[in-house]
Amino acid sequence: MLSRLPRQKPLKSSWKGFRVVSSFGHIRDLSKKNLGIDIGNDFKPDYEIPKEKAKVVSELRKAASEAKNIWIASDEDREGEAIAWHLAGVLGLDLSTTRRIVFHEITKDAISSAIENPRRIDMNLVNSQQARRILDRLVGFEYHLFCGNGYNPRFQQEGSSQCRKTDC
């Protein structure tokens, strides 16, 4: 399972015997209800599958149910790790046996090396991404409303922990 579509076509042609599917990025997000965070329960995030991802998730569940082994390949950063973790959770995969692979080029040698050296999902990266996302929602959402006076695309990134500047 891949997180991004551009990797899918070259892999399909190179790896016979593997079924290659894509999640097209994140498949879960914080719920819109109560900011998606249970503040009274150690800031526990409440995730939901957005409506626009329902069909993709259904297709991934079907593919997972037909698979003997599942390899999750997403970027080697906190977002990629979170995508892998969400995939494992939504698909009901055991984190202790889920094969997480990373490769930096789409070549037979790079992919063979990744498959020969799978690893587990790195929960430190997952927790880092969750903390950033929660901060974005708690701090950024309120700041965003202040800057944009409601939803205003011009201020869409204001208040995000990934935003380089603020100019409201």
Question: What are the domain boundaries of the chain?
Answer: 5-122
CATH classification number, 5-122, choose in 3.40.1280.10, 3.40.50.140, 3.90.950.10, 3.40.50.1820: 3.40.50.140
The whole-chain average pLDDT of the chain stands at 82
What distance in Å separates the CA atoms of residue 69 and residue 118, rounded to the nearest whole number?
12
On the question of pLDDT at 1 being above 80, the answer is no
What distance in Å separates the CA atoms of residue 63 and residue 53, rounded to the nearest whole number?
15
Most confident range (mean pLDDT) of 5-19, 22-36, 45-59 is 45-59
One-letter amino acid for residue 138 of the chain: L
One-letter amino acid for residue 134 of the chain: I
Cβ neighbourhood burial of 64 (10 Å; 0-12, 13-18, 19+): middle
pLDDT digits (tens, 9 = 90+) for 24-42: 999 999 998 888 999 999 9
On the question of pLDDT at 154 being above 60, the answer is no
On the question of pLDDT at 115 being above 70, the answer is yes
Q: Using an 8 Å Cβ cutoff, are 99 and 109 in contact? A: no
Which of 128, 133, 132, 124 has its CA nearest to residue 30? 133
On the question of pLDDT at 150 being above 70, the answer is no
**Binning pLDDT at 50, 70 and 90, where does residue 165 land?**
very low
Determine what percent of the chain is predicted with pLDDT higher than 70: 74
